[in-house]
Each structure stands twice: as structure tokens, then as C-alpha cells.
Amino acid sequence: VAGGEDCLWYVDRNGSWHPGFDCEFFTFCCGTCHQRYCCRDPLRLLTERQQRHCLAFSPKTIAGIASAVVLFIAIVTTIVCCFMCSCCYLYQRRRHPPTPLQGPEIPLSSYPPAAPPAPFPVDYKAGPTPPQPGFAPMAMYPSPSPAAQYPMYPSGPPVYNPTAPPPYVPAQPSYPGA
């Protein structure tokens, strides 16, 4: 075995971390998984492979990995159960999603709602249709005229008047001779 084996970092029995260190030429890393030092005795040699094996299977490493796996399984199980249990909030949200426009209905006009469309085409030239069985006759409302509906606007296109002055008259020069 060639000299100069390195001692890798390790954790002692108290849980304290120790950094790795190099051994001099013709000395080896000796000791156990929890205590390392440099020595010349090849029988006490702790190879780097053995040191890595100590790190991979230390009780704290195993406990850390096991707790992470248990925590992950617990979170996944809780979420799955919450989507399947009718008493859970997530289950109720998934079954009854709220609509963004849910609330009291506000009428938009004073007219009653429009009648449902007729199941057949209506010919308005033929006159009023007799009431269908099962439907009560409704009073017809007169359609409002455009002048009543839009009182701020004129009722039609402007009328041409040839005797009216033009809308824009250019200014005349105020000094003579121009």
C-alpha cells in the first residue's frame, strides 16, 4: 500500500463534524468511523473506500433519509386523502367550484324578460299568431321610437339648406389695399 492515504471528513460519536486531512508520506489514515488519525501501522489502515462506507451508512444519515421519505409520504397521503374525503376543504372546492359571477341577480331593464324563441319560424306578415296550448297570452309592448330612445341626437341626417351661410367664413383683411 502506498503512503499518503487521506482521512476524509467524519462525524464523531458526539455528532461533531471534523474536516478531512492529509497524512504525510509513509503514514496512513487509521482509526474507526468515528475517530481518525494518521499512523504508520498498516494493520490499522482505514482506506478511503472504508471511510466512504462509514459516511454512507452512518446512523444520522440513515435517520435523515428515513425522516425525509416518511415526511414525503405523509404529505402525499394527506393531499390524496383531502381530495377524497368529503369533509375536507379541497374536496368541497373540487366538487363545487365557485363561479366568478355568482351573486344576486340584478335586472338590467324595467321590461320583463324576453319570451323564449318559437320552436318554428314566425311569419310576421301573417298577423298575430293564436296562443299555443299551455302558454298564457302576453301583452305586446310597443317598440320605442328612435327619438324617444335617443333624445340627445337628431332624428335623421341634416337637411341641406342652400340659403344658410357656410359653417366657416374666412376672415377678411382689416387694412385697405390688401
Band (1; pLDDT cuts 50, 70, 90): very low
Question: Residues 46, 63: one domain?
Answer: no
> Are 48 and 5 a contacting pair, CB within 8 Å?
yes
Q: For 17-41, what is each residue's pLDDT tens digit? A: 889 999 888 888 998 888 899 999 8
What does the pLDDT read at residue 71? 96
* 64 and 14 fall within a common domain: no
Q: Are residues 28 and 77 in the same domain?
A: no
pLDDT of residue 112: 64
CA distances from 146 to 15, 124, 141, 143 (A): 90, 21, 15, 9
The answer as to whether 156 is a domain residue is no
Segments forming the whole domain that contains residue 94: 58-98
Within a domain: 178: no
Query: Do the domain assignments include residue 67?
Result: yes
Whether 15 and 60 have beta carbons less than 8 Å apart is answered as yes
Q: Please indicate, yes or no, if residue 174 is contained in any of the structural domains.
A: no
pLDDT of residue 73: 95
Measure the CA dihedral 101/106/111/113, to 10°: 40
Residues 45 and 71 placed together within one structural domain of the fold: no
* Residue 141 within any structural domain of the chain: no
Calpha distance 61→66 (Å, rounded): 8
Tell me the average pLDDT of the chain. Answer: 74
Residue 48 lies in a domain: yes
Residue 134 has pLDDT above 60, yes or no: yes
Pairing of strands 17-18, 21-22: unpaired
| CA–CA separation, 35 and 18 (whole Å) | 9
The reported pLDDT for the residue numbered 178 is 56
How many domains are contained in the chain? 2
pLDDT tens track for 39-96: 998 888 888 888 888 876 667 778 888 999 999 999 998 888 877 777 777 777 777 7
Evaluate whether residue 25 is within a structural domain. Answer: yes
Q: Which of 6-10, 11-15, 37-41, 118-122 has the lowest mean pLDDT?
A: 118-122
Say whether pLDDT at 3 is over 50: no
CA distances from 135 to 74, 126, 129, 160, 173 (A): 61, 20, 12, 52, 77
Does one domain contain both 41 and 74? no
Residues 86 and 42 in one domain: no
Residue at which a domain ends, from 70, 98, 126: 98
